[in-house]
Structure 1
Amino acid sequence: MPGDALYTDLSGYYDLMCADIDYRAQSHCVHRLQQLFGNGGTRHLDLACGTGPHVRHFIDAGYTSGGLDINQPMLDRAAARCPGAQFSLQDMCGFAVEQPADLITCFLYSIHYSAELQRLQACIASVHAALAPGGLFCFNAVDKRRIDNASFVSHTARHTDGLFTFSSGWHYPGEGEQQLLRLRIEKTVADQSQVWHDEHAMVAVSFAELSELLAPYFEVHVLEHDYEKIVPWDQASGNAIFVCVKR
């Protein structure tokens, strides 16, 4: 994928960008949350599913799992990874399902891709409508009031196309309903480097505001952002897992 085509279609590099993510641990944790808080059902839908790694883990755990995304190349890769699973090209802020889901997930802070509070509200309403009685909605989020604009996370991964370094960080200007996800990708081949920079507009919300948006639809539990253990949010950290039981 030469030149600027890298950023025209990132689907071929998506898994490389996410190489440091423990999909198994995340999926297993949410499976436990479904057993503890949900209705025990096994119909699962993953919002903003990307190339389907979480869906793969839920299928392996015995779920009837599928996903939706707004990027068709991502969905094509998801379908190849998860033969037989149902994937659909839909916006998570306005989607419909043929059968109610018992569990709906939205990993990797993708809930923020709703970009605006009005669209976030529409996403929450769509999820509620798509869930079966007692169904569970699980996602992770970042509190706009606790964002460190100088903080970035990075990892390096080797690909047949070269050595890649991926960096990302949040930026919140201090007011308003939007924050930025800033990305930097560096590709090195034979000591020659190319660098891409990008910014994605994301919805900015505090945990108090988010809980208020969810409350009419769900009983809300806020947990520490730790997929190895299930503990209540400490009221201080800027990242959390939201576990929402359909009212």
Structure 2
Amino acid sequence: MSAAPLYTDLSGYYDLMCADIDYHGQSSCIDRLHRIFGNGGRKHLDLACGTGPHIRHFLDLGYDCAGLDINQPMLDRAQARCPEASFSVDDMSQFSVAAPLDLITCFLYSIHYNDGVAKLKECIASAYNALADDGVFCFNAVDKSKIDNRSSMRHRADFEGSEFTFESGWFYGGEGEKQALRLHIEKRDGEQTQVWSDQHAMVAVDFIQLKTLLDPWFEVTIFEHDYQKLLPWDEQSGNAIFVCVKRDLAALAPANPVAA
């Protein structure tokens, strides 16, 4: 077995790696949440959009979509999949938009790609500033205190005569604001096997801390991580969907005192 990088460009295998994800179900659920909590507008931005599968479903639902990612090859594939949408290379922690948005999404735990709490704070502020009144920011997250380092997700797929095995899992060392997403990929062609392993540093927060970061900017409702049923978070599970409605900070600010 050779220990060599499986690929240098993740975009070539991204869709295969995520083949078991229910993009339609996830997109439909967030559309439903936006209809419940949002302002009725259809301007949408997907952060860390990858190759654009969620955007494809939001376009089909009647949204005017844009996508943001730091990987241009990913965005090239997204543009081919979603020619009606616009895409830009940018960092989700510091982005701006030309016109206010009604819905910002961030799927597949990608909010954790903010490398540290400071970057996460910047992302929250950027999302707030990009939204129109009563706009909604939706994402899913994992609570660092509930991570089981022994647990992982594994699936296999066949592609162009090769057999692929994908495995991923969270790892948290027990303290600090960094966790890791560990990836292991094997590609088998007959008797020859290639192996690729890596890990991505990500921000680690618990849900109490995350809600505290969001509260100054948003009205926050937390749901169980179930895209088929809308259930309130039971305050025990370590995965959840966050629905954040933009606050009117001007209305919350104390009135200026009137001079006597």
Whether TM-score is above 0.5 comes out as yes
Superposition map of 1:24-173 within 5 A: 24-160=24-160, 162-173=162-173
Cα separation, 1, equivalents of 2:39 and 2:221: 15
Given the superposition, is the C-alpha separation of residues 5 and 81 from structure 1 closer, same or farther in structure 2, using an over 3 Å criterion? farther
Unmatched 5+ stretches in structure 2: 248-260
Offset from partner CA, 1:40-95 (integer Å, 9 cap, x none) = 11110000000000000000000001100000000000000001210000100000
Equivalent position amino acid for 2:44 in 1 = H
The residue matched to 2:119 in structure 1 has which SS?
Answer: helix
Total equivalences in the alignment = 245
Is the 8 Å Cα contact of residues 109 and 142 (structure 2) preserved in structure 1?
yes
Equivalent position amino acid for 2:75 in 1 = L
Cα separation, 2, equivalents of 1:188 and 1:160: 11
Residue 13 of structure 1 is matched in structure 2 by 13
The residue matched to 2:34 in structure 1 has which SS?
Answer: helix
Give the TM-score of the pair, scaled to structure 1. 0.97
Please say if 1:210 is aligned against 2:187.
Answer: no
- Supply the RMSD in Å over aligned alpha carbons: 1.0
Once the 2 structures are TM-superposed, how far is the Cα of residue 6 of structure 1 from its aligned partner? Answer: 3.5
Cα separation, 2, equivalents of 1:43 and 1:189: 45
Cα separation, 1, equivalents of 2:191 and 2:204: 39
Residue 235 of structure 1 is matched in structure 2 by 235
Once the 2 structures are TM-superposed, how far is the Cα of residue 7 of structure 1 from its aligned partner? Answer: 3.1
Once the 2 structures are TM-superposed, how far is the Cα of residue 5 of structure 1 from its aligned partner? Answer: 6.0
Offset from partner CA, 1:181-221 (integer Å, 9 cap, x none) = 00000000013211111010000000000000000000000
Once the 2 structures are TM-superposed, how far is the Cα of residue 161 of structure 1 from its aligned partner? Answer: 5.4
Unmatched 5+ stretches in structure 1: none
Cα separation, 2, equivalents of 1:82 and 1:24: 15
Give the TM-score of the pair, scaled to structure 2. 0.93
Offset from partner CA, 1:154-188 (integer Å, 9 cap, x none) = 00011115110000000000000000100000000
Cα separation, 1, equivalents of 2:142 and 2:243: 14
Equivalent position amino acid for 1:225 in 2 = H
The residue matched to 1:187 in structure 2 has which SS?
Answer: strand
The residue matched to 1:221 in structure 2 has which SS?
Answer: strand
